[in-house]
Amino acid sequence: MTTTEAGLSIGEVAERTGLSVHALRFYERENLLVGPVRRTSGGRRRYTSLDVEWLLICVKLRESGMPLADLKHFAELVRRGPGNEAERLRLLDAHRERVDAQIQALEECRSVIAWKVGVYAEHLARGEAGGLWDPTR
């Protein structure tokens, strides 16, 4: 029996997704997976390639700041099956808008940082960096 036929162990899924074994158990406990995790006769978890694909999506949604409640709702919608695609789209679109706002804010921060780096680099190159933002003056 191949690994694919037998399913993937929790350690293999952790390696493929970048999630810890503890995080995978948390995802299962919080009902974030779209299907039940199969178990061996000895009670060991066995995951499918579809589980891994779903978890990779979950990782990106969480890394991009999707609230756990929204991820739970999204997983529930997917588990329900066809017929709620418009609601899924609304949820994902709202999250995309939050991510776009975060990107805009980070770009503004990067601009200020780049300006400040330029100020320091210019003063250091001229040998005039002493006293820049010196609170004792």
Mean model confidence pLDDT for the chain: 92
Band (pLDDT 50/70/90 cuts) for residue 137 is low
State the number of CA atoms in the 13 A half-sphere of 107 facing the CB.
6
- Span 55-112, pLDDT tens digits: 999 999 999 999 999 999 999 999 999 999 999 999 999 999 999 999 999 999 999 9
Q: Are 7 and 47 in contact (CB under 8 A)?
A: yes
What does the pLDDT read at residue 131? Answer: 73
Q: Are 57 and 49 in contact (CB under 8 A)?
A: no
Is the pLDDT at 127 greater than 90? The verdict is: no
Task: Spell 20-40 as b/e; 16+ CB within 10 A means b.
Answer: eeebbeebbeeebbbeebeee
Model pTM above 0.85:
no
What is the rounded CA–CA span in Å between residue 65 and residue 41?
A: 37
Classify residue 114 by burial, with Cβ atoms within 10 Å: 0-12, 13-18, 19+. Answer: exposed
N residues, the chain: 137
Q: Are 61 and 78 in contact (CB under 8 A)?
A: no
